[in-house]
């Protein structure tokens, strides 16, 4: 008799501090995931075109953590770029691993970008080269955050020691987006840290607008139906008019019983049927049995303009 055992992969337990419960809802996470996926594609395009190398950036995770916990886990030294994202309050921080930064600078200086790279802090020249790369990614950051808030990213400074980057208070919550970045044969993790307090009002406003979309659509349909019902029962004045004619005041004052007015309206030209003074249809004069009638021939052309004629009065019409 044999027994089989099945092993089930279990995720590692995550610590939870009840004094600082998470406030990043699932909807907020989905919104930030869309933003960071767009940002990852932008980073990939920018790095590939700048370095002329096989480059790929993909999102790994999005989480909310205390700032001091995030800083403690960063390597020292590393490459930190402080970003201003007005109108968001405070600043954000883009952390690029040194291995990837050295590969990028080596390629920009004509090297091959091997896997063996130093572990020292970057020199001023190397920092300037990496600053140029980050500046090229600023339009991608602006485009990625457009669905949430319109930002104007700027570079505020660069640091190598995480303890010197005073982004937020130690207990403040931050949103940390992790990206797997690969340049040629070198692969590492890049992170983007944004204070949650600066993004929270915009995320909640976006969630509220999405939640009200269905209610707004239902309200619009109800208003449209109510307006249709009221207009359908309303009475409007309908009249058929000839082509407009002009006359002098003397002609109008001199009108007498029996005068005949000539409008110069051709017999084959349709009359204009107006509803409430608005031209809507063309109609021709006819007769049904012993009553005059109008026959609709079509809608009024929107670009039609009839020239006015001069009114003529025949005081003694021929028999």
Q: What is the pLDDT of residues 208-226, one digit of tens each?
A: 655 555 566 777 788 888 8
* Cα–Cα dist 109/99, whole Å: 16
Q: Which of 107-121, 155-169, 205-219 has the lowest mean pLDDT?
A: 205-219
Handedness of CA 7, 8, 12, 18 (dihedral sign): negative
Task: Tell me the fold of 26-210.
Answer: Chemotaxis protein chec (3.40.1550)
Task: Please tell me the distance from the alpha carbon of residue 261 to that of residue 255, in angstroms, as a whole number.
Answer: 9
pLDDT digits (tens, 9 = 90+) for 70-99: 999 999 999 999 999 999 888 999 999 999
Helix residue spans in the chain (DSSP H): 26-51, 67-72, 98-108, 124-145, 196-211, 213-233, 249-253
Spans of all domains in the chain? 26-210, 238-314
Mean pLDDT (the chain) is 83
d(CA 85, CA 148): 12
SS3 of residue 312 by DSSP: strand
Q: How many CB atoms lie within 10 A of CB 119?
A: 9
Mutual orientation of helices 213-233 and 196-211 as an angle, nearest 10°?
30
Fold of 238-314: Surface presentation of antigens (SPOA) (2.30.330)
| Contact assessment for residue 184 and residue 163, using Cβ atoms and an 8 Å cutoff | no
When pLDDT is cut at 50, 70 and 90, the band that residue 5 belongs to is very low
């Amino acid at each position: 008799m044999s027994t089989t055992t099945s092993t089930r992969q279990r995720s590692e337990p995550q610590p939870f501090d009840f004094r600082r419960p998470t406030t990043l809802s699932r909807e907020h996470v989905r919104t930030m995931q869309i933003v960071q996926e767009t940002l990852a594609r932008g980073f990939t395009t920018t790095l590939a075109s700048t370095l002329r190398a096989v480059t790929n950036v993909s999102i790994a995770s999005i989480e909310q953590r205390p700032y001091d916990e995030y800083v403690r886990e960063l390597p020292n030294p590393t490459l930190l770029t402080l970003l201003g994202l007005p109108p968001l309050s405070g600043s954000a921080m883009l952390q690029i691993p040194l291995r990837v930064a050295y590969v990028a600078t080596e390629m920009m200086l004509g090297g091959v970008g091997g896997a063996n790279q130093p572990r020292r802090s970057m020199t001023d020249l190397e920092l300037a080269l990496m600053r140029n790369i980050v500046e090229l990614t600023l339009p991608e950051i602006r485009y990625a955050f457009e669905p949430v808030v319109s930002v104007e990213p700027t570079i505020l400074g660069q640091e190598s020691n995480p303890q010197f980057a005073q982004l937020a208070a130690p207990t403040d919550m931050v949103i940390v987006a992790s990206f797997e970045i690969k340049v040629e044969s070198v692969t590492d993790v890049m992170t983007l840290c944004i204070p949650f307090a600066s993004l929270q009002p915009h995320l909640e406003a976006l969630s509220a607008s999405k939640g009200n979309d269905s209610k707004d659509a239902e309200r619009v349909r109800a208003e449209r139906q109510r307006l249709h019902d009221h207009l359908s029962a309303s009475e409007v004045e309908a009249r058929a008019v000839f082509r407009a004619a002009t006359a002098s005041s003397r002609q109008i004052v001199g009108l007498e019983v029996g005068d005949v007015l000539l409008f110069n309206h051709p017999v084959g030209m349709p009359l204009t049927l107006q509803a409430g003074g608005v031209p809507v249809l063309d109609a021709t004069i006819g007769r049904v049995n012993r009553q005059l009638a109008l026959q609709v021939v079509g809608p009024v052309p929107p670009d039609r303009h009839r020239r006015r004629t001069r009114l003529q009065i025949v005081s003694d019409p021929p028999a």
